[in-house]
Amino acid sequence: MKRHEITMTEDELKKVITDTVKDTLTNIGCQTDDPIEMQKDFAHLREWRNSTEAIKKKGLLAAIGFIVVSIMGLALKAFLGD
């Protein structure tokens, strides 16, 4: 099998890579015209993810706290005989 070599200048290679990245980002719904806005969008998504993770952790701690307090209340009630 014969191998074919393609030669490109560094500028040509950079253009191919840049176009490929822009096409990929556009295909997943990102607007590549304004990179600062894209960075803000990604930062917002990160903040949203961090917020939801914090809410999940706090909700889990609250649920565990409620269960522990309920068990302690039931144990106290049984101990006091009411």
Tell me the pLDDT tens digit for each residue of 16-50. Answer: 999 999 999 999 988 888 889 889 999 999 999 99
How many other CB atoms are there within 10 angstroms of residue 38's CB atom? Answer: 14
Number of structural domains in the chain: 1
Please give the Cα distance from 82 to 76 (Å, whole number): 9
What is the predicted pLDDT for the residue at 5?
Answer: 86
**H or E element in which residue 82 lies:** none
pLDDT (mean) for 58-67: 97
Instruction: Please report, to the nearest 10 degrees, the dihedral formed by the alpha carbons of residues 36, 40, 45, 46 taken in order.
Output: 100
Cβ atoms 16, 8 nearer than 8 A: yes
In a domain, 1, yes or no: no
pTM check: above 0.85:
no
Range of 54's domain?
Answer: 42-82
Nearest to 40, CA basis, from 50, 31, 27 = 31
